[in-house]
Amino acid sequence: MTSADLSALARVLPPEQIVTNPSQVESLSRDFYWYSPVLKRELSSRVAEAVVQPHSEAQVRDVIRFAFEHRIPLTVRGAGTGNYGQCIPTQGGLVVDLAYLDKVLEVTPDGIARCEPAARLAMIESTARQSGWELRCYPSTWVKASVAGFCAGGSGGIGSITWGSLRENGTVHSLTLLTMEAEPRRIRLSGSEIFRVLHAWGTNGIIVEVELRLAPRTCWAQLAVAHDTYAQSFDFIEALAHNDSFQKRLVSNFEWPLPSHFAPLQKWVPAQKALAFIEVADSQLERLAHVATSTGGKVVFTAPWTEIRRGAQLSDYTWNHTTLWALKADPTLTYLQCGFSPTRFREQLRQLKARYGDDFLVHVEFVKSEGIYTPATIPVVRYRSDEHLQELIEVCLGLGISVANPHVNYLEGSGRWRPDDEKLVAKQSYDPRGLLNPGKMRGFAATLEQAAPNPPAIAA
């Protein structure tokens, strides 16, 4: 940005809403990209030139008009808990920090939460619970994570054992966005239209409102069960996942030594055991404890499920939080995101363990994916070199295990991209100049290049 651009920006927002202090700009240009040694190397020097903090949708519009006119890249930020450097600006420009647009606007009597983009998921949950509802699914980062960040960057989490991933079952009822144009359009997408923007990393519109469908409120309980071997623990959670007589929000387990890294839980985590962490309807806790014991498991912890920060939450150790705890203990670890077969999990894991041993540590969060109970797996793996990591990915692929590669910083490489994706078509309409989070949707740049050697001319 030139000094003329900065002076023009000063006419768009009051000075207290424009951050130029280098250390603040740097921290607001970051997410959890450093889980990946590859991205850590590639992205550490990438920062915005300034950060803007709009306080209203009207101000977001003003920022868009300004950026479009001056051809300045905009990278939207919710809470910055994403992985893969999703909200790291790789081509400078402005970070648009939406943290001030954080209201839960309403919870309708038929169970839809209408929210501003940076409403925190934990806040939506508590608001919904007051009127008899709860979130269908949420990421383990729910205390901080924003609803639009979840829609643009996340995939599912606690609750997905019953409700599937975020993209399923109409859980995202609507997304309303502003386009990146001279005069931004306000577009409300619902039904299958949401896939134009869902999990698009903020590349094709700024989401200004989200409607989520909720589930009826349940009183939950938490349970941890230890088994001597990982195989026994997996048998137990797999059977539980398939047992529809139990109402569940979380069905997960960890092989040893992963539980040894859960520092705050060490007073009850038994050494050398595989652990299962479960959330089940409170009224079914006793029955589940009985089932667990009958499989040779030992119940080592039970507690009521409580809202944010009122007590221990087992979910704070699941999904990608497992990686965080392991990384705190051993910075040479990193992770993968693997799609094991629901029917061949044991054999696929056996082959990986035979080859990699403790360099491949598994934890599973069962999800109901398109109606099939599936072991979602984010293994903690040892980083030895880029080549070793790539070899591990290829070995997984060779065994029929899909990999959503978390060591790349563009949408198409991250494993949720389909070549005919409507996101690309949407981008051409919603962000014709390619100014939103540029570089993250590589197919778009290629289209521009093919269409004309001079991208700005065609984009305009």
Ligand X SMILES: Cc1cc2nc3c(=O)[nH]c(=O)nc-3n(C[C@H](O)[C@H](O)[C@H](O)COP(=O)(O)OP(=O)(O)OC[C@H]3O[C@@H](n4cnc5c(N)ncnc54)[C@H](O)[C@@H]3O)c2cc1C
Q: Which residues are near ligand X by CB under 6 A?
A: 31-32, 75-83, 86-87, 98, 117, 139-141, 145-146, 148-150, 152-157, 201-202, 206-207, 319-321, 324, 437
Of 75 and 233, nearer to ligand X (C-beta) is 75
As measured in angstroms, the least distance from the Cβ of 232 to ligand X is: 25
Of 5 and 116, nearer to ligand X (C-beta) is 116
Of 166 and 396, nearer to ligand X (C-beta) is 166
For tokens 């207290």, name the residue.
16
User: Rounded to the nearest 5 degrees, what angle is found at the Cα of 199, between the Cα atoms of 193 and 203?
Assistant: 90
Q: Cα dist. 447→77, 173, 425, 451 in Å?
A: 26, 31, 10, 6
> What is the DSSP code (8-state) at residue 11?
T
**Would you state the torsion angle of the CA atoms of residues 159, 349, 259, 310, taken in this order, to the nearest 10 degrees?**
0
As measured in angstroms, the least distance from the Cβ of 431 to ligand X is: 11
Of 59 and 86, nearer to ligand X (C-beta) is 86
Of 111 and 154, nearer to ligand X (C-beta) is 154
As measured in angstroms, the least distance from the Cβ of 17 to ligand X is: 17
As measured in angstroms, the least distance from the Cβ of 117 to ligand X is: 4
DSSP string, 353-389: HHHHGGGEE-EEEEEEETTEEEEEE--EEE---HHHH
3-state secondary structure 161-186: HHHCCCCCCCCEEEEEEECCCCCCCE
Of 142 and 227, nearer to ligand X (C-beta) is 142
As measured in angstroms, the least distance from the Cβ of 45 to ligand X is: 19
Closest residue to ligand X in the complex (CB): 149
As measured in angstroms, the least distance from the Cβ of 166 to ligand X is: 7
3-state secondary structure 263-283: HHHCCCCCCCCEEEEEEEEHH
Instruction: Give dist(CA 318, CA 332) in Å, integer.
Output: 20
As measured in angstroms, the least distance from the Cβ of 153 to ligand X is: 3
Of 179 and 320, nearer to ligand X (C-beta) is 320
Q: Please say whether the beta carbons of 100 and 53 come within 8 A.
A: yes
For 245, the 3-state DSSP assignment is: coil
Instruction: Give dist(CA 293, CA 270) in Å, integer.
Output: 16
